Amino acid sequence: MIKRHYWRPDLVVVDTLTNYMGSDRDMHRQNEVGEFLATLNEMVEETGGAVLCVVHLNKSDSADPMFRIVGSIGFGASVRSMLILGRDPTDPARTALAHDVAP
């Protein structure tokens, strides 16, 4: 849509990322996730903006949020920076925001 209308936005928000993958792609397959994210990355590079993608975490009890992203681990492994919003593990009545960067 951005290419079709020749927009040059500073920020594109994709909420939720898996909704925009299309029904012909499997969000649990790394190669299909990688192809989709590469296309998204190309668009962002061409427009000179940034992209903010929203994903959901599953209910797994894994301490590493990378393994809690719904779908392939490729979603989290392909980003430069990730913000995780959820309940504070030390106080469930509070909301916590954590930042993680790619290794």
Say which amino acid occupies 20.
Y
Token digits for 10? 């500073």
**Which of 23-27, 30-34, 54-58, 64-68 comes out lowest in average pLDDT?**
64-68
**Looking up tokens 């393994």, which residue turns up?**
67
CA dihedral 35, 79, 102, 75 (to 10 degrees): -60
Query: Quick one: pLDDT at residue 95?
Result: 95
CA dihedral 78, 72, 76, 3 (to 10 degrees): 50
pTM over 0.75: no
Query: Quick one: pLDDT at residue 6?
Result: 64
**Looking up tokens 């029904």, which residue turns up?**
23
- Pairwise pLDDT comparison (92 vs 65), residue with the higher score: 92
Query: Quick one: pLDDT at residue 103?
Result: 64
Query: Quick one: pLDDT at residue 31?
Result: 85
Token digits for 85? 């919003």
Give the single-character DSSP code of 20. G
Q: Domain residue spans in the chain?
A: 2-101
- List, for residues 36-50, the tens digit of each pLDDT value: 888 888 888 888 888
In 27-90, DSSP assigns E strands to: 50-54, 81-88
